[in-house]
């Protein structure tokens, strides 16, 4: 969980000049979708979390 928040801050928030709460909320929501659906995880054998869960849902 700690690594998620580290990635959220360094990849999803710090690169942007966020000045208002709604913009921050939007960036966080976008990053969560990206993290779960498109960002491969080394711990998951280079699969996204969604791909990894699908393996066990069958």
For the stretch 29-42, pLDDT in tens is 999 999 999 999 99
pTM equals 0.84
Residue pLDDT, tens place only, 6-22:
999 999 999 999 999 99
Q: Please tell me the predicted confidence (pLDDT) of residue 29.
A: 98
Q: Which two tokens stand for residue 47?
A: 């699969």
The conformation of residue 53, written as its DSSP 8-state character, comes to H
Identify the CA nearest to 35 among candidates 56, 15, 50, 20. 50
Confidence of residue 2 (pLDDT cuts 50, 70, 90): confident
User: Rounded mean pLDDT of 40-54?
Assistant: 95
What is the token pair recorded at 16? 């942007």
């Amino acid at each position: 969980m700690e690594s998620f928040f580290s990635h959220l801050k360094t990849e999803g928030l710090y690169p942007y000049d966020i000045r208002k709460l709604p913009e921050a909320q939007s960036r966080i929501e976008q990053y969560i979708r990206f993290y779960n659906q498109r960002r491969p995880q080394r711990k998951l054998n280079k699969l996204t979390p969604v791909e990894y869960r699908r393996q066990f849902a069958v």
